[in-house]
Amino acid sequence: MQCRAMLPNLSCMGVATGVGEKRSRPVSYVEHEECGDSPLVSTIVLAQLPGPLKISNACFVEEARRVREAKVGLLVVVTNNPVHDKDTWGDARVVHVPFEDTLGEKDAVVVAAIRGAVECVQAYWSEHPDTSVLVHCNEGQNRSAAVVLALLLAYGVPRESALESVYATSTADNAGPGVAWERAGWEKLVGENGKRLRALVLATPWPCVSGFYPHYRPRGFP
């Protein structure tokens, strides 16, 4: 089964755990107190990428107009507490490839989710170059950063340059490129699980893939 075959509907149900699939549940913004009301987004533009690659927190995508104004073509949701469970949001197509930002989430599940996200982005960009892709989790720090790092490596960005690009997104450009967040910072790949995700991504080959992975369950397919 080819990811290309899913276009124009790229939505995905989730990542299998061996017991059953994760279920999306409405997000509670009590969990996002560190973000508060600050919608954060940052953009990576590199010659190796077919288009701009954006990373944001959940607060940014809470309003569909922000996604529309950012001219996002594909929205990749990697939190299991999504703002919504729609196939489109702010004119962007949506894929849901959730996994937990916890040390208890199995490595195989994490890698399978990230591979699924990478594959959907590659399929989308193969048909829609020069359009923006946005990846978001809750805080926009660990899971989304891991997916962005994997995407950069999959598109041939050298390891050190890829890491530098990911860490450079610690400033938000919602008010313009390079505008720093007023608070303590918007660091990437933080804490013990952030370090673990970084190590997992760097240790995994990210070739240009063409088929779905065993743990990946696209909506609408058995």
Please report, for the domain that includes residue 150, its CATH number.
Answer: 3.90.190.10
What does each C-alpha distance from 135 to 17, 22, 34, 104, 184 come to in angstroms? 22, 19, 19, 22, 22
The tens digit of pLDDT for each residue in 55-105 reads 999 989 999 999 999 999 999 999 988 887 888 999 999 999 999 999 999
Number of Cβ within a 10 Å radius of residue 177: 10
The tens digit of pLDDT for each residue in 1-18 reads 233 323 333 333 333 322
The tens digit of pLDDT for each residue in 109-151 reads 999 999 999 999 999 999 999 999 999 999 999 999 999 999 9
Q: Which domain holds residue 40?
A: 3-218
Nearest to 134 by CA among 206, 125, 6: 125
Number of domains, the chain: 1
**Predicted TM-score (pTM) of this structure:** 0.79
Tell me whether the omega of the peptide bond preceding residue 8 falls within 30 degrees of 0, making it cis: yes
